[in-house]
Amino acid sequence: MNGSAGQLLLVDENDRVVGHSEKGTVHRLGLLHRAFSILVFDDAGRTLLQRRAPGKYHCGSLWTNTCCSHPLSGETMADALQARLSFEMGFACPLFHHHTFTYRADFPETNLIEYEIDHVYTGRFNGVPHPNPEEVMEYRWVTPVELGREIRSKPERFTPWFRLIVERLGSCRKPEKIERPMLTIADTNILVQLTSPLLI
């Protein structure tokens, strides 16, 4: 059995895997690692948000994107995406890569550090989620206008990575052709030019 199975993937600045380590160690030491964030939209263009359970290792009770986690050593990104979405939100749907960015956030209340290369994926779903109460406190669907106004007026209610995702998207608006894979655009300026402005 591979002793690294179930551990997070440590990466360099170009997202090349350089090692693996246990989740707690990675976040205590602030090691750069691979992660993913999922944004699910419905046909009306609303975004599905979740409120993280209070007992999460950081950012408990904050609102964030539909789902986020880390691919584990020995696990493909595709398998990790569907497994985590199903585990947290109780459904699966096709997901497509949208963009990738790097961020770092310190959480002094828990002495943890998030330092991630975050791969953002989008999908479409029109059913009823069945969230795992150990992971998700509650959920809601929001329009781009509602989300933009709330993030601008009360940013402390949202996780830091989700605020960055919305900033980079220009808006949390349903991609026009979500049924097909989208180009990965790492440059924020180019990405903003290709998306709608945040509706305030």
User: Helices in 74-175 by DSSP H: which ranges?
Assistant: 77-89, 144-153, 160-169
Cα(116)–Cα(131) distance, rounded to whole angstroms? 25
- The catalytic position among 88, 114, 116, 172 is 116
Distance of CA 16 to the CA centre of its chain: 20
User: Hey, is 85 helix, strand or coil?
Assistant: helix
What is d(CA 18, CA 26) in angstroms, rounded to the nearest whole number? 13
What's the full length of the chain, in residues? 200
Contacts of 188 (CB under 8 A, 6+ apart): 101, 168
Catalytic residue among 68, 88, 93, 172: 68
Q: Which two tokens stand for residue 79?
A: 């398998």
- Token reading at 136: 């998700």
116 is catalytic: yes
Instruction: Indicate if 93 belongs to the active site.
Output: no
Q: Which positions are annotated as active-site residues? A: 68, 116
